[in-house]
Structure 1
Amino acid sequence: MNLKTLKTYLFIGISIISLGFFQSCNDDKNDSPSRVQLKLVDEIGDYEEVNVVITDIQYNATDSEAGWQSFAPAEAYPIEVDLTELIAGNSLLLTDQLIPAGMMKQIRLVLGDGNTLKLEGDDTLIPLDTPSAMQSGLKLNLNTVLEGGFTYTFILDWVVSESIVESGITGKYNLKPVIKVNAEVNSGSVSGTVVETIEETETVMEGVTVEIYNAEAVKITDTMTDMDGNFLFQGLEAGTYTLKITREGYNEYSAETTVLVGEVTEAGTIVLTAVTP
């Protein structure tokens, strides 16, 4: 066997070993589970409290024959939460779990009994009637391919203002959840602080409604500042947005901000100025 032939065989042998190695790595990656986190946040409404009971959270994978399967909760079922507390960057971790990689088609929130509402200025807890369809599970479409070894965080934005319907005839309140789903892996956030100047001293403003609009001037969502004047928008697609604050007795605030995937854009300190009499 001459030297040229020996080099040829050696090259073929190394190529076969390399292909086998890379195939093995790919197989290991495909066999690795995906980590899924579900976080619940609230889009504000004019209520003192909105208390909901979640008895199960399930997912449906298209390539699985098991059908609907339950997530393990971060704490324990039932999950009882006052949605009005999930503002200004506060969120509730519903689950943090490793599941098989593949297509995740839908998730489903199953609601229990005991959902209640408290109106502003009234300490009375009002029962929220929950339709049987919601108790059997509110389906949310994800249609996301989960790759092995990656973490996927989904933000469930519960729109309280659209989720509570008052019956004009009976005077009862019905709970018909409206929830937006955003993948944090494909989104960014905007944070900031709202203050006012009193006697040349900046004072944080709690309970200020901050709205955010897209480039087409369509309102995306709103939130409210916490006790430290802070606010946070999560799960926003990359692009240019406009922050707006309209508060009685103060001049309207409006400013553009840019959202980048995987980053928190700092809007900084927003100073509201009082309307001059």
Structure 2
Amino acid sequence: MNLKKLRTYGLFCLTLIVFAFAQSCSNNNDTASRLQLKMVDAPGDYQEVNVEITDIQYNTTDSEAGWKSFTPASGYPINVDLTQLVAGNSLILADQIIPAGMMHQIRLVLGDNNTLKLEGIDELIPLDTPSALQSGLKLNLNTKLEGGFTYTFILDWVVSESVVEAGTTGMYNLKPVIKVNAEVNSGSISGLILDDAQNALDNVTVNLYDSNNEKVTDTMTGAQGNFLFQGISEGSYTIKVNENGYDEFTIEVEVSVGEVTDAGTLSLTPTP
């Protein structure tokens, strides 16, 4: 074979290899999606709410046999103080490439190392998990995952409804209430709360109401007075702040999909 034919043959083989590689990448993009689970907190009146997550599973077949586990980078268990997930802080529970297709449910399996800390009490109080939830808390997604796309779901853990006092025994039960929203179908609201002297107010509860005056969720300000609502559906909302020692403050905002609505600076006026 002369040099000219050898070069032509080599170029032909190289073209086949590049085409095969591109085709393989295309097929992978068509059959796989990236799924992220991000946890935030709608806080309650507690110093700490510590939960232990021992497994996170997903189901694409809508049958008990179809559950598969995510493999978080830090491994299991995942231990988190939910009260820290405010003012824009969040926790990535999972970030993984999975087969494209219908995503029916995810399931959080909790361990036994769940505790509560109340103001003025140094020791941690055990949080009992009802036996009905020991197999895991199922959350419905019912979303079709298209190949080659990234999907982020916001898991808003409503602590105020999740911690239940067991009568007058001094014990508490953990009955998780978690709202799920797709980040791609939602927006966010940010803002800053100051006093009349323009000092940042931290640990202030910020409430969010929909157009029907139904409470959607709440959050708390951070050390710099900032707050952030994530995973909020498109529409009109009212922010209400009822802080002891200050007049009630309300402001209306509009949320658009994929955008962060800036509520601006909310200056609270001291109550005479």
TM-score normalised by structure 2 residue count: 0.87
- 8 Å CA contact retained: 1:115, 1:128: yes
Distance 1:56 1:96 in 2: 14
Report Cα offsets for 1:104-152 as digits up to 9, x if no partner: 0000000001110101121110011112222211000000000001111
Whole-angstrom distance in 1 between the partners of 2:62 and 2:242: 48
What corresponds to 2:73 in structure 1? 74
Q: Is the 8 A contact 1:250 1:272 kept in 2?
A: yes
How do 1:82-231 and structure 2 match up within 5 A? 82-198=81-197, 202-231=198-227
**Partners of 1:63 and 1:103 within 8 A in 2:** no
The one-letter code matched in structure 1 to 2:195 is E
Structure 2 distance, partners of 1:78, 1:248, is 38
The SS at the match of 2:196 is: strand
Amino acid in the other structure paired with 1:31: D
Any residues of structure 2 matched to 1:56-75 within 5 Å, and which? 56-62=55-61, 67-75=66-74
Task: For 1:101 and 1:245, locate their aligned partners in 2 and report how far apart those are by CA, in whole Å.
Answer: 42
Q: Is the 8 A contact 1:190 1:232 kept in 2?
A: yes
Please name the residue that 1:239 is paired with: 235
Q: Deviations over 1:55-92 (max 9, x none)?
A: 00000002899610001113210000000001111100
Deviations 1:4-61 (A, max 9, x none): xxxxxxxxxxxxxxxxxxxx89x83773311000011111101110000000000000
- Once residues 245 and 51 of structure 2 are traced to their aligned partners in structure 1, the CA distance between those partners, rounded to angstroms, is 35
Q: Secondary structure at the match of 1:203?
A: coil
Show the counterpart of 1:251. Answer: 247
Name the SS for the 1:58 alignment partner: strand
Greater Cα shift, 163-172 or 54-63: 163-172
Query: Does structure 2 retain, via aligned residues, the 8 Å contact 1:62–1:105?
Result: yes
Deviations 1:166-221 (A, max 9, x none): 111533111111111010010000000000123xxx11100111111111111100
**Misfit runs of 4+, over 6 Å:** none
Question: What is the TM-score with the length of structure 1 in the denominator?
Answer: 0.86
Aligned-partner Cα distance in 2 for 1:49–1:63: 35
Q: SS of the counterpart of 2:120?
A: coil
Separation (CA, whole Å) in 2 of partners of 1:243 and 1:234: 14
Contact 1:74 1:93 in 2 (8 A): no
Say if 2:30 and 2:146, in contact at 8 Å, map to a contact too: no
Number of aligned residue pairs: give it. 249
The alignment-based identity, stated in percent, is: 68
> Structure 1 residues 63 and 164 mapped into 2: Cα distance closer, same or farther (>3 Å)?
closer
| 1:270 matched residue in structure 2 | 266
Q: Which shows bigger deviation, 59-68 or 177-186?
A: 59-68
The AA in structure 2 aligned to 1:267 is A
Q: Which moved more, 1:168-177 or 1:241-250?
A: 168-177
Of residues 35-44 and 62-71 in structure 1, the stretch that sits farther from structure 2 once superposed is 62-71
Distance 2:62 2:158 in 1: 31
Amino acid at match of 1:186: N
In structure 2, how many angstroms separate the alpha carbons of the residues matched to 1:63 and 1:108? 12
1:265: Cα distance to partner? 0.5
Cα distance in 1 for residues equivalent to 2:161 and 2:62: 34
Partner of 1:133, secondary structure, is: helix
